[in-house]
């Protein structure tokens, strides 16, 4: 059996190696490393895949969130509501722009924003909400859109973990994660479902004016070279990454299907054990299983992690500390116990390996090992 990894990027690369190698060499031979034709082609193909008017590529997912908030013209002190249970980047950019992160708890089943808590957190200073489509499925966007409309708030979707997931509205219409709110932000970090071979990210929007502003801010605040109308940043997706992403985009749905097969296997093997809760599938979203995350009940998590590690099975804790308990984000507004669901999740979740290259014998070994420990 090959070494088990949380994500097997080499195995995935080997399956598409001739195409990738050729695409990379072509970029090198063309010397169009920055803003070359590959970037434009990827942008157009991704727009088509997402059924969105504008994709604006950038350097990483954190930049995408930052540029989105800059483009929306938020002012220092404006309040942005987001989940306490997320990767730090979501809140980091809010704080960096001198906006005020307002944290709310998440749902115990889907791990996405608790919409009642969002409503309760809205004040006259609130300007935006950042739903995080955590672990691969969408936050419940329809009621969130209604809340945002009622209070005239922007929605910046953090879809770094849910590229390709579909949200279904009550009338049966579907939309891709990230194309529902005002701006969608994503990451092409190598381990993401659509990952490049370095850093990368993108913003999506259907709003032409906003798209032009985002593009300008990502390019030093200029739309005509050397004429700077806004304070911007330098955030580009390079041509090599775009060429790689064009190839991987063609496989994205097949990657989601193989991740779902892994999840189905885990569900079947572990679902009846009372000591674990398998991931709950949201009614109105497909799941692209960026992570397969169990909630442990009365189990010593670090002992389980060590037990699996001894057998060569990696497992990760996403995330061990709620944002409001992080040193950098400590705030007199919050104390331990304020976000009980997030705190419970941070102390009891564990994520098992999930990627596109896991075979059944490896999955059996992983689930047998988990069950052995739980006995």
Ligand X SMILES: Cc1ncc(COP(=O)(O)O)c(C=O)c1O
**Shortest distance, position 60 Cβ to ligand X, whole Å:** 4
Residues 43, 66, 90, 137: which binds ligand X (CB under 6 A)? 90
86 binds ligand X (CB under 6 A): yes
Distance (Å, whole) CA 322 – CA 347 = 9
Please identify, using beta-carbon distances, which residue of 66 and 362 lies nearer to ligand X.
Answer: 66
What residues between 176 and 215 interact with ligand X by CB under 6 A? 187, 189, 199, 201
104 binds ligand X (CB under 6 A): no
**Shortest distance, position 226 Cβ to ligand X, whole Å:** 28
Please identify, using beta-carbon distances, which residue of 9 and 374 lies nearer to ligand X.
Answer: 9
**Shortest distance, position 88 Cβ to ligand X, whole Å:** 8
Which three-class secondary structure state does DSSP give residue 51?
Answer: coil
158 binds ligand X (CB under 6 A): yes
Please identify, using beta-carbon distances, which residue of 304 and 352 lies nearer to ligand X.
Answer: 352
Sole residue written with tokens 């885990």: 266
**Shortest distance, position 42 Cβ to ligand X, whole Å:** 16
Antiparallel, parallel or unpaired: β 201-205 and 183-187:
antiparallel
Please count the CA atoms within 13 angstroms of the CA of 161 that sit on its side-chain side.
22
Which three-class secondary structure state does DSSP give residue 95?
Answer: helix
For residue 274, the 8-state DSSP code is T
115 binds ligand X (CB under 6 A): no
218 binds ligand X (CB under 6 A): no
Please identify, using beta-carbon distances, which residue of 186 and 260 lies nearer to ligand X.
Answer: 186
DSSP string, 138-168: ---HHHHHHHHHHHT-EEEEE-TT-TT-EEE
Which of the ranges 29-37, 87-95, 258-266, 360-368 carries the binding residues for ligand X, by CB under 6 A? 87-95
87 binds ligand X (CB under 6 A): yes
Q: How many CB atoms lie within 10 A of CB 344?
A: 15
Q: At what angle do helices 301-310 and 360-374 cross, to 10 degrees?
A: 140
For residue 102, the 8-state DSSP code is E
Full 3-state SS string of 168-207? ECCCCCEEECCCCCCEEEEECCCCCCCCCCCCCEEEEECC
Please identify, using beta-carbon distances, which residue of 87 and 167 lies nearer to ligand X.
Answer: 87
329 binds ligand X (CB under 6 A): no
**Shortest distance, position 270 Cβ to ligand X, whole Å:** 24
Site of interaction with ligand X (CB under 6 A): 60-62, 86-87, 89-90, 132, 158, 160-161, 187, 189, 199, 201
């Amino acid at each position: 059996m090959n070494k088990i990894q949380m994500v097997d990027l080499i195995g995935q690369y080997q399956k598409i190696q001739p195409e990738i190698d050729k695409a990379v060499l072509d970029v090198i031979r063309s010397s169009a490393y920055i803003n070359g034709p590959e970037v434009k082609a990827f942008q157009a193909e991704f727009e088509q895949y997402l059924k969105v008017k504008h994709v604006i590529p950038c350097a990483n997912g954190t930049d995408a969130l930052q540029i989105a908030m800059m483009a929306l013209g938020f002012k220092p002190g404006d309040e942005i509501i987001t989940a306490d249970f997320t990767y730090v980047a979501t809140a980091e950019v809010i704080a960096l722009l001198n906006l005020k992160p307002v944290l709310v708890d998440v749902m115990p089943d889907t791990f996405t924003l608790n919409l009642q808590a969002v409503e309760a957190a809205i004040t006259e200073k609130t300007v935006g909400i950042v739903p995080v489509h955590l672990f691969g499925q969408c936050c419940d966007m329809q009621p969130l859109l209604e809340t945002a409309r009622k209070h005239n708030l922007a929605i910046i979707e953090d879809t770094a973990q849910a590229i390709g997931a579909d949200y279904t509205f009550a009338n049966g219409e579907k939309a891709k994660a990230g194309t529902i709110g005002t701006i969608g932000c994503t990451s092409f970090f190598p381990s993401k479902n659509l990952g490049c071979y370095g850093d990368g990210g993108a913003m999506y929007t259907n709003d032409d004016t906003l798209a032009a502003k985002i593009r300008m801010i990502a390019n030093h605040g200029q739309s005509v070279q050397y004429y700077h109308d806004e304070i911007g940043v330098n955030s580009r997706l390079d041509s090599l990454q775009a060429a790689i992403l064009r190839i991987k985009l063609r496989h994205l749905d097949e990657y989601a299907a193989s991740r779902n097969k892994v999840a189905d296997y885990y569900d079947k093997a572990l679902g009846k054990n009372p000591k674990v809760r398998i991931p709950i599938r949201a009614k109105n979203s497909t799941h692209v299983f960026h992570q397969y995350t169990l909630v442990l009940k009365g189990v010593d998590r670090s002992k389980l992690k060590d037990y699996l590690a001894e057998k060569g099975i990696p497992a990760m804790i996403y995330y061990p500390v709620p944002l409001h308990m992080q040193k950098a984000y400590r705030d007199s507004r919050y104390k331990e116990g304020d976000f009980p669901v997030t705190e419970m999740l941070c102390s009891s979740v564990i994520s098992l390996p999930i990627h596109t290259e896991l075979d059944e014998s490896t999955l059996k070994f992983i689930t047998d090992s988990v069950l052995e420990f739980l006995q």
